[in-house]
Structure 1
Amino acid sequence: GAALFFSQIQSVTMLVIGLFMLRLFGQGMTTHTYATAIARRYISARGRALSIAQLGHTLGESIAPVSVVTMMLIIDWRTIWMILPFGALFLLAPFLRYLTQRTRLQDGGGLEGLNTQNADTANTNNENHAHDNHVFGNDAGFDGQHWRRHDVIRDRTFWFGLMWLTAVPSYVLTGVMFHQIYLADLKNVSLASWTANYVLYAVFAVIGSLAAGQLVDRFTARRVAPYTMLPTTLACICLYFADSVMGISLFFMLFGLAGGTPNAATTAIIAEAYGTRYLGEIKAIFLPISVFGSALSPMILGLMIDLGGGLALILGSCAMIAIFAQASSMIVLGHFRKG
């Protein structure tokens, strides 16, 4: 519906509404829905399941821009916005029931577990927590309970640990991509050579996502999640010192890892820390944080550029907040509250 609406925009007001609808129902809600469902359905293979699902994002980022530009050489942009939703409707919708059915590897409560809850499970008293734990078993959080959103907002683990694991990747990746022409110019690299390295970015984003999923399942997200900030730090350092084509290529490899590794680990640590009973409402806190971080970085880094800031200031600030996010989350995730 949002895509069809966007195909008919005639004014700035309609453009704003259309963009909001596309971000809300497309990038926002679909990501939120699948990640929540997977985190509920899987426990022992949660990391791998999330990382495999994340491949869809990487595939879209890889083929969508080129595909759309090619299509615009043949047909009008409004027609493209009419074609895209019907492609999803006919290629995906008829198979949704088959694709979402339970399999033998899905050891989490999932929707079936939720449907067994009594009507009074919306309350958060001790009896309901005990009932939740009986139904969901290992789906509960580290303290043995299923948290509600208002409890998470008051939790120091959220403020000093998990929030930064969500905000920092969005901030750094969006900021660097937004100002990539300026950065390429500072490194004396042609834009053609710079953009050619996005193939490496896509490949290593896939590698990072799959590797993070495997590590989460083997060592738990609690141990793995803080280290997903390390590729971001290394990518910023590498770009600062890069003085050759190989150096730029190495930066894109690390940048791809920085884009791929946090996704599965972040969703998994939220489920591990707070349980899956109310995971939908809890994850809804983290999505605006990610969007806010991605919206804030172009402005802040752009201000640095206008004030004469060079590579040292731009990349140094990005590296520092990544180091802070890793150190803070390592400390907090090592001291979960008991009861």
Structure 2
Amino acid sequence: MRNYWQFLQQGWPLLVFGFLAVFFGNFGQSFFISWYGAAIQADLNLSASTYGAAYSFATLVSGSALMFVGGWIDKWSLRRFASTVALGLFVGCLTLAFTHNIVLLVIGFFLVRLFGQGLFPHTGITTMARSFDKNRGKALSIATMGVPVGEVILPILAVLFIAKFGWQMSWAAFALLIPVVFIPCMLFVVRRAHQLGLQVDSEIKAQSLEASVKDQPATQAVGRKQVLRDYRFWLALPVMLSGPFVVTGVFIHQGFILAQKQWSPEWFAACFIFYGVVHGLGSMGVGFLIDRFSATRLLPFKALPIVFALLLLAFANGPWVAWAMLGLLGVSIGCGGPIGAALWAEVYGTEKLGAIRSMTSSFAVWSTAVSPILFGVLIDNGMSIQALMSGVAVYVSAATLMGYMAYRVKK
């Protein structure tokens, strides 16, 4: 604990930056935007399918763009990159604030998904993984706490703002937080980090706890091409995508689940708070495990709670199932973020970490666009909740086995 306190004292400017970047990225996350769905559909006179198509299209395009622009963090200073991302999210929030047709809605969704869901957490997590070596797990845990904190706070603020100002002016109010809160805090902590001699920008030599993908020296940069040619990456990818894929599908189609389980929306909403709390505890706790055992050793275990959650949804009944299911999903998602961020740094080094993370983040974003459509088609074709959740559990189990074989296999 004494060493942990020293770590906080020495690295607090970058830790604050990482937390803030991940927290502000919540403005582009599905759990936050979902609170605006009903108001947007009513105001713009959109059907559920049209609204969903607009959201999925914006998500797919933003995920593709993320792969190209995310690598700029390896070439730009942190101050410049973070300021650009903040400006993009600010414009996205204002676009939604002044939306009056579906075209502006898609543009607004694209901007908040790219800069919010994509680039803001990408900036914070990449900085943590690159700047901290010995305490990488702890740093990633602190930064990724921005998501569960947002899950607890932001829905309440969204409901209050929508009720008081309307959904459009609500987005304008959140937009103002970026120049008033984030940018001044970001400039202060980055300047303080430079003064303390912390590694802030990307002039860092690649470090690897294992041999790089072609048994190159660890100092030789490993980029996207080498990663994509590494079969171990393809073994690890399914288990890395299992969390975003499953959670998005379950949350988007929660109406189907509530009807099947005979849960009230109020009950599920109360249980969702528990999800946010467990998510945060998982994020914090796994950092110590990463620093002790490494992310490569923890990778096979990250999705096991999802398997149990899906089996509970498939075969168990009763109000308690909602608590247990959301708790298990929260543990997996909370642990999965730091494990994934540390994994790429451990195996492929940090010199081109931004390019690698933006690529894997794009895959994750695409998975969140696929699962709602896939689940919806299966549900519309009469698939039972038992068959649906059991089938997804088989996929996650297979992905877990592949993850176990991935980076334990030496080339």
TM-score (norm: length of structure 1): 0.86
TM-aligned CA distance change 1:259 to 1:288, over 3 Å: same
| 1:102 maps onto 2:173 in alignment | no
Moved more, 305-314 or 241-250: 241-250
Aligned to 2:92: 2
What is the letter of the counterpart of residue 97 of structure 2? S
Post-superposition offset of 1:316 = 0.9
Is the contact between residue 202 and residue 351 of structure 2 (CA under 8 Å) also seen in structure 1?
no
What is the letter of the counterpart of residue 53 of structure 1? A
Q: Among residues 166, 179, 204, which one is paired with 2:253 in the alignment? A: 179
TM-aligned CA distance change 1:218 to 1:137, over 3 Å: closer
Aligned to 1:274: 348
Post-superposition offset of 1:151 = 1.1
Matched residues in 1 for 2:275 and 2:252: separation? 15
Aligned to 1:148: 223
Q: Deviations over 1:15-35 (max 9, x none)?
A: 111111111111111111111
Q: Deviations over 1:144-184 (max 9, x none)?
A: 243111111111111121x2133211110001111111112
Aligned to 2:295: 221
Matched residues in 2 for 1:104 and 1:92: separation? 20
Aligned to 1:127: none
Moved more, 46-55 or 5-14: 5-14
Matched residues in 2 for 1:254 and 1:71: separation? 31
Matched residues in 2 for 1:11 and 1:230: separation? 43
Matched residues in 1 for 2:308 and 2:379: separation? 22
Q: Among residues 282, 287, 301, which one is paired with 1:208 in the alignment? A: 282
Helix, strand or coil at the partner of 2:164: coil
Q: Deviations over 1:258-286 (max 9, x none)?
A: 22111000010011111000001111111
Unaligned runs of 5+ in 1: 115-131
TM-aligned CA distance change 1:95 to 1:238, over 3 Å: same
Matched residues in 2 for 1:222 and 1:234: separation? 22
Q: Among residues 295, 298, 303, which one is paired with 2:372 in the alignment? A: 298
Q: Among residues 158, 170, 177, which one is paired with 2:233 in the alignment? A: 158
Post-superposition offset of 1:224 = 0.6
What is the letter of the counterpart of residue 24 of structure 1? L
Is the contact between residue 43 and residue 138 of structure 1 (CA under 8 Å) also seen in structure 2?
no
Post-superposition offset of 1:104 = 11
Is the contact between residue 147 and residue 278 of structure 1 (CA under 8 Å) also seen in structure 2?
yes
Q: Deviations over 1:52-87 (max 9, x none)?
A: 111111121222222111112211332222221222
TM-aligned CA distance change 1:159 to 1:137, over 3 Å: closer
Matched residues in 2 for 1:30 and 1:140: separation? 30
Unaligned runs of 5+ in 2: 1-90
TM-aligned CA distance change 1:61 to 1:153, over 3 Å: same
Helix, strand or coil at the partner of 1:111: coil
Is the contact between residue 141 and residue 338 of structure 2 (CA under 8 Å) also seen in structure 1?
yes
Aligned to 1:120: none
Aligned to 1:318: 392
Aligned to 2:153: 63
Q: Among residues 110, 114, 117, which one is paired with 1:20 in the alignment? A: 110
Q: Among residues 360, 381, 395, which one is paired with 1:286 in the alignment? A: 360
Post-superposition offset of 1:13 = 1.3
Q: Among residues 321, 331, 336, which one is paired with 1:257 in the alignment? A: 331
TM-aligned CA distance change 1:228 to 1:104, over 3 Å: farther
Matched residues in 1 for 2:200 and 2:211: separation? 12
TM-aligned CA distance change 1:254 to 1:112, over 3 Å: closer
TM-score (norm: length of structure 2): 0.72
The count of corresponding residues between Structure 1 and Structure 2 is 316
Post-superposition offset of 1:97 = 3.4
What is the letter of the counterpart of residue 165 of structure 2? I
What is the letter of the counterpart of residue 298 of structure 1? P
Aligned to 1:327: 401
TM-aligned CA distance change 1:182 to 1:57, over 3 Å: same
Matched residues in 1 for 2:376 and 2:202: separation? 48
Q: Deviations over 1:292-332 (max 9, x none)?
A: 11111111111211222112221112211211111101112
Moved more, 31-40 or 138-147: 138-147
TM-aligned CA distance change 1:110 to 1:325, over 3 Å: farther
Matched residues in 2 for 1:228 and 1:203: separation? 18
Q: Percent identity?
A: 29
The Cα RMSD (Å) is 2.3
